Amino acid sequence: MMRYFIFIFFILLSACDNNSPSIALGTLERDRIAHTATINEVVVSLPVTQGSKVKKGTLLVQLDDTQQKALVSKAKAEVVQAEANLEKLRNGAREEEIAIANAIVAGAKATLVENQANYIRSLDLIKHTAISEASLDKALASRDASVANLQSTQAQLRELTNGTREEDLRMAEAHLESVIATLASEKKKLADLTVLSTRDGILDNLPWNLGERVTTGSPLAIVLAGKAPFARIYVPEPYRVRIKVGDKLVVHVDGLEKPLTGYLRWIATEPAFTPYYALNQEERSRLMYLAEVQLPDSEAHLPNGIPSQVELP
């Protein structure tokens, strides 16, 4: 293709030298849509053959999705877990949990009363040297431990009855949003393993064979989109100011006796070759501007690559 355009370039240069350029040469083309691989997986299905017409949404290539389905299932489980945790924090402690905590506090109080009484008896006995100092110290330690245990169980009870802290709720909500986003990402990756046509057109090429493991970023399917092709041409610099997007132009296609009428759908703002500021006035006339002339939908049967000529005003 590049050699062909170089050949066109020299033809147009010769025409410009003769001061009589009236046509721009090129070929019929269509938009090339490359569906690329987002992951290196194995091709398990190629339901459409090359050269077939396809509609938007047609399955072109199916990659192995076993591992990705497992990741989606894992992400779903994490969402369920995060939702349950958030609901638990919002609902607070159950009545059964509060009852258990109250019972623990009551047991701690009873232990404290017992140990306090033991300590007081030990104080009386030590006065009569009925017990040793070590026994008194042990009774005191038991009393102090009971006090600390009571304070701990009372704090746990208050934690249950006061409800969840606002900070903990925000953390749980943020975690839920995070796992939901992860699930959406994994679902998108799963959907990308099913390669669907994004536009109507012709399936031009399937670079990978059934059973091959594709590489990430490589094209899986090439679709030539659109109904009728367009003529990709190079416009000489002297004619650049005479045409604009939307202008109707006459197109001659090799093999067709009658010319066709198309419209200029796009023209480059920068020259395709040497920039104008590096050339003198005579050389600037040899600059080329890439342009595309769209043919009517009635010419959808025309194939790509056919040489064409566009009359310039």
Q: Is 225 exposed, middle or buried (0-12, 13-18, 19+ CB in 10 A)?
A: middle
Per-residue pLDDT of 199-248, as tens digits, reads 999 999 999 999 999 999 999 999 999 889 999 999 988 898 999 999 99
Look-up: residue for tokens 């240069």? 13
Looking at the domain assignment, is residue 26 inside a domain? Answer: yes
Q: What percentage of residues in the chain have a pLDDT greater than 70? A: 85
Instruction: Locate 281 and state its tokens.
Output: 């006035």
Q: How far is Cα 161 from Cα 103, in angstroms, rounded to an integer? A: 14
Looking at the domain assignment, is residue 36 inside a domain? Answer: yes
Looking at the domain assignment, is residue 180 inside a domain? Answer: no
Q: How far is Cα 40 from Cα 193, in angstroms, rounded to an integer? A: 10
Looking at the domain assignment, is residue 178 inside a domain? Answer: no
Specify the pLDDT at position 160: 67
> Are both 203 and 156 inside the same structural domain?
no
> Are both 165 and 86 inside the same structural domain?
yes
Looking at the domain assignment, is residue 109 inside a domain? Answer: yes
Specify the pLDDT at position 135: 81
> Are both 24 and 77 inside the same structural domain?
no
Number of domains the chain contains: 2
Q: Which CATH number is 157's domain given?
A: 1.10.287.470
Looking at the domain assignment, is residue 188 inside a domain? Answer: no
Domain end: 131, 154, 172, which one? 172
> Are both 49 and 76 inside the same structural domain?
no
Looking at the domain assignment, is residue 25 inside a domain? Answer: yes
Q: How far is Cα 98 from Cα 117, in angstroms, rounded to an integer? A: 29
Instruction: Locate 36 and state its tokens.
Output: 């690329």
Looking at the domain assignment, is residue 283 inside a domain? Answer: yes
Q: How far is Cα 109 from Cα 99, in angstroms, rounded to an integer? A: 15
> Are both 96 and 35 inside the same structural domain?
no
Per-residue pLDDT of 59-95, as tens digits, reads 999 999 999 999 999 999 999 999 999 988 887 766 7
Q: What is the rounded average pLDDT of the residues 278-290?
A: 67
Spell out the alpha helix ranges (H) of the chain. Answer: 2-17, 66-91, 95-127, 133-162, 166-192, 281-284
Q: Which CATH number is 250's domain given?
A: 2.40.30.170
Confidence of residue 20 (pLDDT cuts 50, 70, 90): very low
> Are both 218 and 243 inside the same structural domain?
yes
> Are both 58 and 204 inside the same structural domain?
yes
> Are both 8 and 112 inside the same structural domain?
no
> Are both 75 and 59 inside the same structural domain?
no
> Are both 58 and 205 inside the same structural domain?
yes
> Are both 57 and 106 inside the same structural domain?
no
Per-residue pLDDT of 242-271, as tens digits, reads 999 999 999 999 999 999 999 999 999 988
Specify the pLDDT at position 16: 43
pTM as predicted = 0.68
Tell me the residue range of the domain where 270 lies: 2-64+199-311
